[in-house]
Chains A and B, each alone.
Chain A
Amino acid sequence: MSIRFGGIEGLTACTRVEFEVKPGEFVVVLGPSGCGKSSILYAVAGFIRPTEGLVLIDGTEVIEPSADCGVMFQSHKLFPWKTVEENIAIGPRMRGSSNIEARRISRALIHRVGLKGFELAHISELSGGMTQRVNLARTLAADPKVILLDEPFASLDSQTRIDMQELLLSIWENSRKTVLLVTHDIDEALLLADRILLLSSRPGSVVGRFLVPYARPRSTSLLSSGQVLELKSKLFTLLRSEQRKTTENRR
C-alpha cells in the first residue's frame, strides 16, 4: 500500500509497503522517526484508508476499525471517565459478555499486568508505566485477532520500559497472538520480534527484512549476549543512514 495525505500534491507518508504477517507471528516494523510507521499501523487498523493498495485480514479487506484489530497507541487513550477495571472491561462487554463475566476477565488481566489493588482507581491517578499496563490489558481483554502496537513504550523511562517489554514478552509467549509493533528502537525490535521489517526514511518503504532467530522464551539479558551483536550492528548502520536522510531532507 501507499499512503498520501492531502491529495496528489500532498505528502507521501509511505510508498509501496508490502508485507504479510502469519497467524501467531510477532512482526516489528522498525523505522526512523516520521517515516510513516503510525500511518501504516492506522491503515492496518482501518482508521485511514491507503491511497493505493489494501489491507487484508484473513482474506477480508479492512475498510473500517473493528474489534478484529486491537490497537495500543503511544499516548494511552484510556478513558479518564472510567475506572481501570471499567476501561479493561469494555472489550469483553462489547463481545457480549455479561457485566459479571467482563469484570472477572478485567480483574484477571489487572492481576496479570501487576496492578492488583488499582481496580477502582481513575486513570488520572496512575503513573506512565501503570497507564501502559492498563492499556495493554485493555487491548488484550478485547481478544482481537491482531494486536497493533504503536511505539507503546517510547514515552517510558528505560527501567519501566524494560519491565513492560518483559511483561509483553511473557504474555505473548504464552498466548502467541498475531502482533504488529512499530518502533524506532533496535533493542526493542530484537527482543520482541520473530521478524523485523526495516523502513526507509519518508516516504517509508520496506528496505530490509530480517529473521530474528533467537530462541524463546527470551528475556532482556538477550540484548547483552554476544549473539545479537551482528544483527544489531547491521540494523544500526542501516537505520542510521535512513535517519540521516530524514535529517537531510528536512534541511
Chain B
Amino acid sequence: MVKLRQSVLPLALVAVLWEVLAHAGLLNMSFLPPPTKITLALLEMGASGELSTDLIMSVTRALGGFLAGTVVGVLLGIGTARTSLGRYFLLPVLQSLRSIPSIAILPFAILLLGLNEVSKYFLVFWGVFFPVWVNSHIGIAGVDTQYIWAARSLGVQGWRLLWEVVLPAAVPLIVAGMRVGIGLAFLNLVAAEMSGASAGLGYRVSASHLVFRPDKMLAALAALSLLGMAADAAFGLLVKRILPWSVDRS
C-alpha cells in the first residue's frame, strides 16, 4: 500500500494543475469544478451537518456489515475446512454463490429485504463474507499438520486446539481476506446507498447528480477516498498491534 504521507505531494500537484487549468478556461468549470470549489462545497456540507450525517451513516453501515461478514466468514471457514458436513454440503453451495459478482445481488436483496437499512447492511456483509470465508477456509485447511501434532502431543484438544493453534496459524490468511473485504465493503456500501437511501456518502454522490451539484458530488467522492484509505491504514495498524505474528511473515 502507498503510504499516506507519500501521496500528499503528488495529490497537491494534481490539485494545483487542475486549479490552474480551470481558471485558464481549459476545463468546463460547471462540470469539473476546481479543487477550491470542491473544498468550499465540503465546508458547506460540514457546516450544514450534512457531511457528518453522511459519514456516520456510511461508517456505521460499513463497519456493521464488515464485522458481521468477518465473523460469519471465519465461522463458516472453520465449518468448511474442518467438518465433513461443511466440506461436502456447504462448500459447493458457497462456491457457487461466490461466483456471482456480489453487486449483482443488490436488486434481489432489495426485493427480499426491502429498501431499508437491513438490505444495506446485508449487501456490505455479502461483499465482505466471501473473501474472508475463502481465505479462512484455505488458511485453516492448510495449517501445517506438524503444528497440530505438536499441540496434540502437548495435550491440546478440541476447542482449545482450534482456538490456540488452528486459528492463530490461519490468521495471516484471514487477515489478508479481511483486507480484501474492506475494499468490497465500500464498493457494496456505495452501490446500496446509490440505489435508495436518505443519507450516506454514496447517497450524496447520486443526490448531487440529481440537483446538478458536481462540486458536492466530487466532495463526497473525495470523502469516500479518504475514508477508504483511513480504513485500510487503521486496519493495518490494528493488525500490527494485536496480531503481530501475522505481519512478521508476510
Residues of chain A touching chain B, judged by Cβ–Cβ distance below 8 Å, are 42, 45-47, 64-67, 69-71, 73, 75, 77, 79-81, 90-91, 94-95, 122, 124, 138, 142, 144
Taking a contact as CB atoms under 8 Å apart, the answer to whether A144 and B171 are in contact is no
Report the bound CA distance from A47 to B153 in whole Å: 9
Pick from B46-54, B143-151, B182-190, B211-219 the stretch touching chain A.
B143-151
B168 contact set on A, CB distance < 8 A: 79, 81
Report the bound CA distance from A4 to B204 in whole Å: 67
Query: 15 A-B pairs, CB-CB below 8 angstroms?
Result: A42-B149, A65-B149, A67-B153, A73-B149, A75-B146, A77-B144, A77-B149, A77-B150, A79-B168, A81-B169, A81-B245, A94-B156, A124-B245, A142-B154, A144-B153
B107, CB-defined interface residue at 8 Å: no
B171 contact set on A, CB distance < 8 A: 81
Report the bound CA distance from A75 to B150 in whole Å: 11
A79-B147 contact in complex given A122-B244, A124-B245, C-beta closer than 8 Å: yes
Taking a contact as CB atoms under 8 Å apart, the answer to whether B152 and A66 are in contact is yes
Shortest CB-to-CB span from B5 to chain A, Å, is 28
B243 contact set on A, CB distance < 8 A: 81
A contact face: mostly helix, strand, loop, or mixed:
loop
A122-B245 contact in complex given A77-B146, A79-B165, A81-B168, C-beta closer than 8 Å: yes
Task: Fill in one digit per residue for B153-184: 1 if any A CB lies within 8 Å of its CB, else 0.
Answer: 11111001000110011010000000000000
Taking a contact as CB atoms under 8 Å apart, the answer to whether B248 and A65 are in contact is no
Taking a contact as CB atoms under 8 Å apart, the answer to whether B155 and A73 are in contact is no
A142-B150 contact in complex given A81-B245, A122-B244, A124-B248, C-beta closer than 8 Å: no
A47 contact set on B, CB distance < 8 A: 149
Q: Determine which of B154, B160, B165, B169 lies in contact with A70 in the assembled complex, contact meaning CB atoms within 8 Å.
A: B154
Report the bound CA distance from A122 to B171 in whole Å: 16
Shortest CB-to-CB span from B168 to chain A, Å, is 4
Shortest CB-to-CB span from A189 to chain B, Å, is 23
Taking a contact as CB atoms under 8 Å apart, the answer to whether A91 and B155 are in contact is yes
Task: Tell me the residues in window 6-55 of chain B with beta carbons closer than 8 Å to chain A beta carbons.
Answer: none
Taking a contact as CB atoms under 8 Å apart, the answer to whether B147 and A91 are in contact is no
A73 contact set on B, CB distance < 8 A: 146, 149-150
For B146, B150, B164, B168, the residue with the greatest tally of chain A CB atoms inside 10 Å of its CB is: B150
Shortest CB-to-CB span from A38 to chain B, Å, is 10
Task: Fill in one digit per residue for B234-245: 1 if any A CB lies within 8 Å of its CB, else 0.
Answer: 000000000111
Report the bound CA distance from A170 to B160 in whole Å: 34
Taking a contact as CB atoms under 8 Å apart, the answer to whether A95 and B245 are in contact is no
Shortest CB-to-CB span from B27 to chain A, Å, is 53
B248 contact set on A, CB distance < 8 A: 80, 122, 124
Report the bound CA distance from A94 to B165 in whole Å: 13
Report the bound CA distance from A110 to B101 in whole Å: 53
Q: A67-B153, A122-B244 are in contact. List 17 more A-B contacts (CB 8 A).
A: A64-B152, A65-B149, A65-B153, A66-B152, A66-B153, A77-B146, A77-B149, A79-B164, A80-B245, A80-B248, A90-B155, A90-B164, A94-B155, A94-B157, A94-B160, A122-B248, A142-B153
Report the bound CA distance from A95 to B154 in whole Å: 9
Shortest CB-to-CB span from B59 to chain A, Å, is 30
Taking a contact as CB atoms under 8 Å apart, the answer to whether B154 and A45 are in contact is no
Shortest CB-to-CB span from B205 to chain A, Å, is 42
A95-B153 contact in complex given A80-B248, A124-B248, C-beta closer than 8 Å: no
Task: Fill in one digit per residue for B219-250: 1 if any A CB lies within 8 Å of its CB, else 0.
Answer: 00000000000000000000000011100110
Taking a contact as CB atoms under 8 Å apart, the answer to whether B147 and A45 are in contact is no
A71-B153 contact in complex given A80-B248, A122-B244, A124-B248, C-beta closer than 8 Å: yes
Shortest CB-to-CB span from A115 to chain B, Å, is 18
Name A70's closest neighbour in chain B (CB-CB). B153
Taking a contact as CB atoms under 8 Å apart, the answer to whether B156 and A45 are in contact is no
Name B152's closest neighbour in chain A (CB-CB). A65
A91 contact set on B, CB distance < 8 A: 154-155
A142 contact set on B, CB distance < 8 A: 153-155
